[in-house]
A and B are shown apart, each in its own frame.
Chain A
Amino acid sequence: MNIESFMPHRGKMKLIEDIVEVDKDHCLARATPTPDWPLYSPDGISAIIIIELIAQTTSAFVGWRRRHEGPLGGAGFLVGIQKAELHTRYLPVDTPVFISCTRSLDMDNYGVFDGRVQTDELVCGTASIQVYNP
């Protein structure tokens, strides 16, 4: 699946590399941290990046739904974080992470999406984000 057809992120700031599965209710994406990522240090990638991973997965999720279901609200700019919990200091470099995203609220031009980032062994963090499509 060509993820670039569903999201606007490019270059260094395109962190998601693939959509693993997606349907009208959820999306699962994959990414592999590298030293080129934002918030990199020799210890790894600061776990704060989890919020961007969830935002990008949400963007791809809504892009996919637009393609399959027609115009939708709820995608666009990140306007808020209701709550984010980080369970680790760093994401390890070169270890794939999986990002799941579900919609918890869809309105005309506003949406709330719940996301989780995990490796094969560890839930790294969760966040509930708010997006607005002006």
Chain B
Amino acid sequence: MTNPVWYHLKGCACDSVRWEGFFHIPAASPWFDGHFPNNPVLPGVAMLGMVQDLLRKSTPQVMVKGFSRVRFRHIVRDNANIHVRIVPKANHGTNRYLFEITGNACLICSGTVETDNPQQGEMGI
């Protein structure tokens, strides 16, 4: 049995001041299996999971401790391409980060993510 493909990570880059990832969510992704019948909408938690996965590209054991001030501004349909960008939040220590998710030249989602320790950077695929 093969594992389901929830999304494709088309590319990412991380350094000490930003994390960026390009994702494709295919129509066959289980995220759309029943969410919702005949009305596919990418769950907000799927986007937050991509934020976590992108942070873990540079620090695999990082723990996400929370989110705040998250706004979901646009619906994401199936077969979407989205861009996730994360930067450290100024004046809030080293474990809070601002993230923005964009697609089709629109801001889809933004917010703050808090982790258990500072992130390390410098990688890319």
Contact = CB atoms under 8 A, between A and B. Distances in A.
B68 A83 contact: yes
Interface residues of A, number: 27
A89 interface: yes
A46 B34 contact: no
Contact of B34 (A11, A83, A84, A85): A11
Interface in B57-73: 63-72
A80 B73 CA distance: 9
B72 A13 contact: no
Contacts, number: 88
B43 interface: yes
Interface in A37-80: 38-39, 46-49, 51-52, 55, 77-80
A38 B66 CA distance: 18
A38 B34 contact: no
B44 interface: yes
Interface residues of B, number: 29
Nearest to A14: B34
B34 A82 contact: no
B45 A52 contact: yes
Nearest to B61: A89
Secondary structure type dominating chain B contacts: mixed
Contacts of B30: 12-13, 38
B45 A86 contact: no
Nearest to B32: A13
Nearest to B48: A48
Interface string A69-109: 00000000111111111100100000000000000000000
A129 to B, nearest CB: 9
Interface of B: 6, 30-37, 41, 43-46, 48-49, 52, 63-72, 75, 111
Given A10-B37, A83-B67, 19 more contacts: A8-B37, A9-B36, A11-B35, A12-B30, A13-B31, A13-B35, A38-B6, A39-B45, A46-B49, A46-B52, A46-B64, A51-B45, A55-B45, A77-B72, A78-B72, A81-B69, A86-B63, A86-B64, A86-B66
24 contacts: A9-B34, A10-B33, A10-B35, A10-B37, A12-B30, A13-B31, A13-B33, A38-B31, A38-B43, A38-B45, A38-B46, A46-B52, A46-B64, A48-B45, A51-B44, A51-B45, A55-B44, A77-B72, A80-B69, A80-B70, A81-B70, A84-B70, A86-B65, A89-B63
